[in-house]
Amino acid sequence: MGGDDEKKRKAGINAVTSMMMMLAMAHCASTSHVSMTQKAVQAICEPVKYKETCKESLSLANTTNPRDLIRIGFDAAKRHLAAALHTSTSLTKTETDPQTEKALKVCNQMLDMAIYDLQKSFDKMGQFELFRVDEYLDDIQTWLSGAVTYRVTCLDAFENNTSSARRKMEKTLKAAAEINTNALSMVNKIKNLVKSFDGLGKSRPRPLFARNHGYPVWVDHGRRKLLATNSTEGPVVADAVVDKDQSGNFTTLTAALAAVPVRPDNKTYVIHVKEGVYEEKVTIPYNLTHLTVIGDGPDKTIFTGRLNFVDGTLTVDTATFSALGSNFMAMNMGFKNTAGAVKEQAVALHVGGDMSIIYNCSIQAYQDTLYAHAHRQFYRDCNISGTIDFIFGNAAAVFQNCLLLIRKPLHGQDNMITAHGRTEPGANTGLVIQNCTISGEPEYLGVKDVSRTYLGRPWKPYARTLIVDSQIDDVIDRSGWATWPGADYDKTCWFAEFRNRGPGKAGRLRANWPGIRKVDAVQVADFLPENFIYADHWIEQSGVPFSPGNKTT
């Protein structure tokens, strides 16, 4: 960065600092009888949606520092979620209805992860460095959005359930929900303020990613060799080897995961899974981070299962493979759920870890194939196939150079490729399909005029999906998008198409609800990897090929 840019950046930082402090007093200048702390609390709560909840959450504050007040708000949300987790755990022990018990168990897991996200937000705000303000705010916004997502997933587990347990959980989570919404609003205001200063748009690369022989310092020697070599062309250097034929250290990935050592330095741990079909349900917990799992090819190393909703498993628990820890990477692997269309929701791959990369993988099922649940995710050179909502969730996920294949649904059903689940307008989430090919399996092509396919539908009120620079074959209904039954999300969602090609691209018969947006190249740039998921901070250093902006390779 040149000297002039650095001066401009410092000037912008000083301005942001001053404006943050002014924010804490500006709205209360005339109320001299109120203490300075109370003035600051009133000021910081003024622009948020739930003002009284905000003031109550900061009622014990003894500071005028906006950063500290926001941290106190994070901590209050965490305490409310902890109380909800305690309620959920207690109800689980006494619940006699099987479906309600399953829902409560989902809540136990989701609220635990939401608390984890809020704790990270609290810690990050405490480390706040203004010369890296944009990076810090993006992390915090991501984790706050994750906390929202997990809380909503808890309540979604009670869908069509009228038990008293559901009502208790809704009541217990109300304050946490309002504080979380307020926190997102505060962070977004600061983020927009930062954007208004030229030169503050992007911070310098993180020290975490300092280079060593062309690789970031956290990529150990084994992973460097792994990423530099196509595993199908030579031996893989790994920390552990899984082989069902017993030539490795373990015969199941679950056993290998249980043996992963604690790594205080977050050194990447690499597991090589040799060719084979592995019939096991795999869960990588949220506290198992910096893990790379590599197979021998998407049609050679395959994880398969058949758990499904019709047979009594809640959707989030149907996944054959769940990766919830941050900095996860899967490479050269296949994930399947073979329950079939008749079994309705049946997830093949569930990804929730922040900064997750899925590279050269095959993901196959029917309804709800891929659960892109939360946080920042990147999919490159993957084949993903399904029927209804086969890419769904509330992640900030970019799919680049992927093949999206539509499968034949049950008679009388229509297909939706995406179903995004954004519930908060301040959440930095969305689905971006970039330079992909959207086509159909041969079996579907014969029924495409009867069973129509749409690019997506809004699962939640503020769903966001962008299809850009992609090949769309003659498999998409001319209206392009579908609504969610019984909801008016078509007014609040954000759906857009830009610069696509092929017979299925947008034409004059495309849907024109308020949520269908006309966008230009400048607006689209905000949703491409460099800006939307801060790709230059983590994807670039992984060794996985990617295009940060408009040009795709």
Dihedral of CA atoms 162, 166, 170, 176 in degrees, nearest 10, equals: -160
Helix H or strand E encompassing 107: helix 98-126
Spacing of C-alpha 99 from chain mean position: 27
Cβ atoms of residues 293 and 257 within 8 Å:
no
DSSP 338: -
Q: How far is CA 282 from CA 296, 305, 344, 390, in A?
A: 18, 10, 21, 20
Question: How many helices (DSSP H) and strands (DSSP E) are in the chain?
Answer: 12, 28
Cβ atoms of residues 287 and 297 within 8 Å:
no
Exposure string for 378-414, b = 16+ CB within 10 A, e = fewer: bbbbbbbbbbbbbbbbbbbbbbbbbbbbbbbbeeebe
Can you give the three-state secondary structure of 412-427, one letter per residue?
Answer: CCCEEEEEECCCCCCC
Q: Are strands 362-364 and 383-386 parallel, antiparallel or unpaired?
A: parallel
Cβ atoms of residues 535 and 383 within 8 Å:
no
The whole-angstrom separation of Cα 64 and Cα 24 is 7
Catalytic residue among 239, 354, 368, 389: 389
Other C-beta atoms closer than 10 Å to the C-beta of 501 total: 10
354 labelled catalytic? no
If you compute the radius of gyration of the chain from its CA atoms, what whole number of angstroms results?
Answer: 24
Helix axes 66-94, 133-156, angle to 10 degrees: 20
Give just the sign of the alpha carbon dihedral 539, 543, 544, 546: positive
Cβ atoms of residues 146 and 120 within 8 Å:
no
Q: Which one-letter amino acid corresponds to residue 40?
A: A
The whole-angstrom separation of Cα 290 and Cα 147 is 20
Cross-strand pairs, 278: 303
Q: Which one-letter amino acid corresponds to residue 210?
A: A
Q: Strand, coil or helix: what is 242?
A: strand
Tokens (6 digits) for 311: 């047979």
DSSP 541: G
Spacing of C-alpha 244 from chain mean position: 32
Other C-beta atoms closer than 10 Å to the C-beta of 352 total: 30
Cα angle 515, 436, 377; round to 5: 75
Tokens (6 digits) for 199: 């030169």
Task: Please return the burial class of 94, using the count of CB atoms within 10 Å of its CB with bins 0-12, 13-18 and 19+.
Answer: exposed
Q: Which one-letter amino acid corresponds to residue 370?
A: L
Residues classed as catalytic: 389
